[in-house]
Amino acid sequence: MSCEPSTKVDKQNNNKIGNDKFEILIVGAGIAGLSFLYNLKQSKFFKEGKINYRIIEKRKEPGLELGYPIHLSSESRKLLEKTLIKKDLIKLKKYQNKIPIYHDGITISNSNKNKQVYKLIREPNKRTMIERKDLLNIFKNSIIEEEKEIEYNKEVIELNQIENNKIEVILKDGERLKVNLLIGADGMFSSIRKLSSNLNGQPKKQKQDLLENLPWTVINFKTSCIQVLKWIKDPYGINTIYGNGFSATLIPLDSNNDNDEEDEIDISRNEVEQQIDEEDLRINYETNQPFSNSNKNEIDHSNELNTSKADTTNTHHELNQPNSVYIALTIPSNWDIKSKHFINSKFLDDLKKSKEWKDKKEFKLYSLKKTFTGKFENIILIGDSSHGTIPFCGSGTGNAILDSIKLIKILKKYFENENENDKKNNLNFLLNEFKKNIKKRNDPIIKESKKILWLIQGSNQFSKLIRFLIFPLLNFKEKLIGDRDKIEKELRNVIENDRQGIH
Ligand SMILES: Cc1cc2nc3c(=O)[nH]c(=O)nc-3n(C[C@H](O)[C@H](O)[C@H](O)COP(=O)(O)OP(=O)(O)OC[C@H]3O[C@@H](n4cnc5c(N)ncnc54)[C@H](O)[C@@H]3O)c2cc1C
């Protein structure tokens, strides 16, 4: 057996070494890799002992490279609610409640006067944010014995296609594995993507790595500086501030609410919607819903930014002010942050004066031109490795989860019908179908996402003109068809009830 899990895993799951099992190597213990493993471990075929697996990770030890809270799109929230086992769903709700965001809309402030100019409220009473570490911990702590199962400090350096439709994987430490399925869940700089694009037989157009460096950088940091906190106009929502050629997203945080203890969790207010069957794979819903619909929402939502017309509708600003804030500042990569000639210098000055500014982290934006699927059926890329990372319409996390669940669904289909001589259940055929779907889903997101970047962040005259024309129109449309008063009232009630402890 070439892809041996640890003895402990073996005992626990009855996945014995030496049997003629289907061997899977997962490369990368990020959201995609861990979500895949989480769902794999709950699958019937896994419980029947048909799988051997290993999961390797380049990092030397547990920890995070990409920090800070992430916004969970409506689709990814639904996916998690459908697939998490009950105790993890409870944890999810608890972790989401740690970040005091009460709706999925956005509040825009006028850059010069620090004045709220537009507010969109969507889905009142939906907690849309989660700390990245909390999401990863849900996957890790529940059924993965992290210390024993995730093999840190391991890297793939070479791939070879060998007999019996297997892949030979060579690791940096010299170890060689032979696997039936190689899952590249190793993020936007995926080595599996690079290595597999150089394998013989790869079509020419996929031979080079198509990752492009977009001309923007995101600066991330957290601060409790009072001057910066003053820029938050909606302490219960996502706030955005626009300058000339840059934007900043501000997520209010409540540092009093940073308690990780596994205490009793009141989930009644959030209504655990699903009765979950803990015995079988939890894919009982239609995952074929076009993900692009969600992204359409994201797109519409983003397009409503920068409106010039003031909307001073207020939602309980007199309530709790947050005591810290998470900031994601997107700037042109070639921009000199010290220069003063941009609208909104005051905001940037306040950021730079905060004592936490020195701890900021910078992320350059990258994207693939198109989804990379590769020629070899048994090398599958999931999550950022197949499309690059941000911008991706803010749905990178949701997509990583969706990819992993869909892949499990494919394997489930294969194992349910493995003895039938039906072309449709042939694994290569199924994996190819998976690749086609992933491409169909991701390519439009890559395209839309870049469009939004040019529109929102672009500092040339053309994008300024488009912004000037489009945003007021979108604002008008939202007012015309939107039921703002009703939704404002609903949100106020939720916040008020929460304050009074009424669930
Ligand atoms: C600043 C920032 C903010 C973001 N905000 C949001 C947001 O609000 N909402 C949202 O949905 N998404 C957001 N994203 C995107 C989101 O983080 C990604 O889409 C998501 O993390 C993808 O998960 P993944 O598992 O594919 O990749 P990752 O989370 O990057 O995980 C990849 C893992 O593979 C490991 N690895 C890398 N190379 C190798 C190798 N050669 N061998 C072994 N292991 C390897 C890495 O160490 C890592 O652990 C944000 C991204 C960034 C950078």
Instruction: Give pLDDT, residue 298.
Output: 29
Read off the DSSP letter of residue 205.
Answer: G
Kindly report the pTM of this predicted structure: 0.82
Q: Read off φ and ψ for residue 176, nearest 5 degrees.
A: -120, 135
Q: From residue 83, give the alpha-carbon distance in Å to each of 31, 61, 344, 384.
A: 14, 27, 44, 21
Distance between Cα 72 and ligand 1 center (Å): 14
Distance between Cα 430 and ligand 1 center (Å): 26
Dihedral sign (CA 16, 18, 21, 26): positive
| Cβ < 6 A, ligand 1 pocket | 27-33, 56-59, 65-66, 70-71, 155-156, 185-187, 191, 218, 220, 363, 383-385, 389-390, 394-398, 400
Q: Which residues contact 87 (CB under 8 A, 6 or more apart)?
A: 142
Query: Averaged over 295-317, what is the pLDDT?
Result: 30
Instruction: Give pLDDT, residue 96.
Output: 93
Instruction: Give pLDDT, residue 46.
Output: 94
Q: Is the pLDDT of residue 453 over 60?
A: yes
Distance CA 138, CA 140 (A): 6
Residue with tokens 């296609």, as numbered in its chain: 161
3-state secondary structure of 24: strand
Read off the DSSP letter of residue 30.
Answer: S
Going by alpha carbons, the residue nearest to atom 7 of ligand 1 is 70
Q: Is the pLDDT of residue 259 over 90?
A: no
Pairing verdict, β 238-242 and 69-71: unpaired
Distance CA 485, CA 490 (A): 9
Give pLDDT tens digits for 195-207: 988 766 555 555 5
Count helices and strands (H / E) in the chain. 15, 17
Atom of ligand 1 nearest to the CA of 65: 47
Q: Higher-confidence residue: 31 or 318?
A: 31
Instruction: Give pLDDT, residue 103.
Output: 93
Q: Which residues contact 470 (CB under 8 A, 6 or more apart)?
A: 303, 455
Query: Averaged over 404-421, what is the pLDDT?
Result: 88
Instruction: Give pLDDT, residue 162.
Output: 84
Instruction: Give pLDDT, residue 209.
Output: 56
Distance CA 93, CA 282 (A): 18
Distance between Cα 35 and ligand 1 center (Å): 12
Q: Which residues contact 336 (CB under 8 A, 6 or more apart)?
A: none
Residue 14's pLDDT band, with cuts at 50, 70 and 90, is very low
Which residue among 58, 96, 191, 298 has the greatest number of ligand 1 atoms within 8 angstroms of its CB, and so is best to mutate? 58
Instruction: Give pLDDT, residue 318.
Output: 44
Radius of gyration from C-alpha coordinates of the chain: 24
Give pLDDT tens digits for 456-468: 666 667 766 766 6
Q: What is the mean pLDDT of the chain?
A: 76
Q: Read off φ and ψ for residue 381, nearest 5 degrees.
A: -100, 130
Q: Is the pLDDT of residue 69 over 60?
A: yes
Q: Higher-confidence residue: 16 or 158?
A: 158
Residue with tokens 């491409």, as numbered in its chain: 439
Distance between Cα 84 and ligand 1 center (Å): 20
Lowest-confidence range among 206-210, 231-235, 291-295, 428-432? 291-295
Q: Is the pLDDT of residue 257 over 70?
A: no
Q: For residue 258, give both structure tokens.
A: 């940073």
Going by alpha carbons, the residue nearest to atom 26 of ligand 1 is 383
Q: For residue 90, give both structure tokens.
A: 């409870």
Lowest-confidence range among 231-245, 247-261, 364-378? 247-261
On the 0-12 / 13-18 / 19+ scale of CB atoms within 10 A, 502 is: exposed
Which residue among 25, 70, 399 has the greatest number of ligand 1 atoms within 8 angstroms of its CB, and so is best to mutate? 70
Contact status, residue 425 vs residue 418, Cβ threshold 8 Å: yes
**Architecture of the domain spanning 7-499:** 3-Layer(bba) Sandwich (3.50)
Query: What is the percent of the chain where pLDDT is above 90?
Result: 35
Instruction: Give pLDDT, residue 58.
Output: 93
Atom of ligand 1 nearest to the CA of 395: 11
Distance between Cα 320 and ligand 1 center (Å): 32
3-state secondary structure of 339: coil
Residue 144's pLDDT band, with cuts at 50, 70 and 90, is low
Give pLDDT tens digits for 337-365: 666 656 667 888 899 999 999 999 998 88
Distance between Cα 151 and ligand 1 center (Å): 18
Dihedral sign (CA 147, 152, 154, 155): positive
Q: In 3D, which of 407, 368, 366, 365 has the Cα closest to residue 387?
A: 368
Query: Averaged over 52-63, what is the pLDDT?
Result: 89
Query: Averaged over 328-338, what is the pLDDT?
Result: 80
Going by alpha carbons, the residue nearest to atom 29 of ligand 1 is 30
Q: Residue ranges of the domains in the chain?
A: 7-499
Q: Read off φ and ψ for residue 477, nearest 5 degrees.
A: -60, -45
Lowest-confidence range among 37-51, 382-396, 479-493? 382-396
Distance CA 68, CA 218 (A): 12
Residue 442's pLDDT band, with cuts at 50, 70 and 90, is confident
Cα–Cα–Cα angle for 386, 67, 208, rounded to 5 degrees: 25
Dihedral sign (CA 84, 90, 93, 95): negative
Q: Is the pLDDT of residue 301 over 60?
A: no
Q: Read off φ and ψ for residue 219, nearest 5 degrees.
A: -105, 125
Q: How remote is the C-alpha of 203 from its chain's centroid?
A: 30
Contact status, residue 97 vs residue 127, Cβ threshold 8 Å: yes
Atom of ligand 1 nearest to the CA of 155: 42
Instruction: Give pLDDT, residue 208.
Output: 55
Residue 289's pLDDT band, with cuts at 50, 70 and 90, is very low
Instruction: Give pLDDT, residue 214.
Output: 83
On the 0-12 / 13-18 / 19+ scale of CB atoms within 10 A, 331 is: buried
Distance between Cα 388 and ligand 1 center (Å): 9
Residue 55's pLDDT band, with cuts at 50, 70 and 90, is very high
